[in-house]
Amino acid sequence: MNTTSSTAITGQATTRTASRRIPLGVKLGFTGFMAVLVPVYWASYGPTNFLYFCDAALFLTLTAIWTGHPLAASMAAVGILLPQLVWVVDFACGCAGYHPIGLATYMFDPKIKLFARSLSLFHGWLPFLLIYLVSRLGYDRRALAGWTLLATSLMLTSYFFLPPPTPASVHSSTPVNIDYVFGFSDTEPQRWMNPHLFVTALILAMPLCLYLPTHFLLRRLAPKAA
Q: What is the pLDDT of residues 117-155, one digit of tens each?
A: 999 999 999 999 999 999 999 999 999 999 999 999 999
**Number of domains composing the chain:** 1
In a domain, 7, yes or no: no
Highest-scoring range by mean pLDDT, 162-176, 177-191, 210-224: 210-224
Helix segments in the chain, DSSP class H: 3-19, 24-45, 53-67, 70-95, 114-119, 122-137, 143-161, 195-206, 212-221
In a domain, 210, yes or no: yes
In a domain, 163, yes or no: yes
Compute the Cα dihedral for 29, 31, 34, 36 and give only its sign: negative
pLDDT category of residue 19 using cuts at 50, 70 and 90: very low
Task: Give me the DSSP letters along 157-176.
Answer: HHHHHS-----TTS--SS--
Q: Containing domain of residue 75, as a range?
A: 25-221
CA distances from 70 to 53, 97, 145, 215 (A): 18, 39, 14, 14
Judged against a pLDDT cut of 80, whether residue 6 lies above it is answered with no
In a domain, 3, yes or no: no
In a domain, 84, yes or no: yes
pTM of the model: 0.87
**Cα(87)–Cα(50) distance, integer angstroms:** 17
The mean of the pLDDT values for the chain is 88
C-alpha 86: how far from chain center:
12
In a domain, 79, yes or no: yes
Q: At what angle do helices 24-45 and 122-137 cross, to 10 degrees?
A: 140
Contact 157, 148 (CB under 8 A): no
In a domain, 91, yes or no: yes
Q: 7, exposed or middle or buried, with CB in 10 Å at 0-12, 13-18, 19+?
A: exposed
Task: Give me the DSSP letters along 5-35.
Answer: HHHHHHHHHHHHHHHTPPPHHHHHHHHHHHH
pLDDT category of residue 9 using cuts at 50, 70 and 90: very low
In a domain, 9, yes or no: no
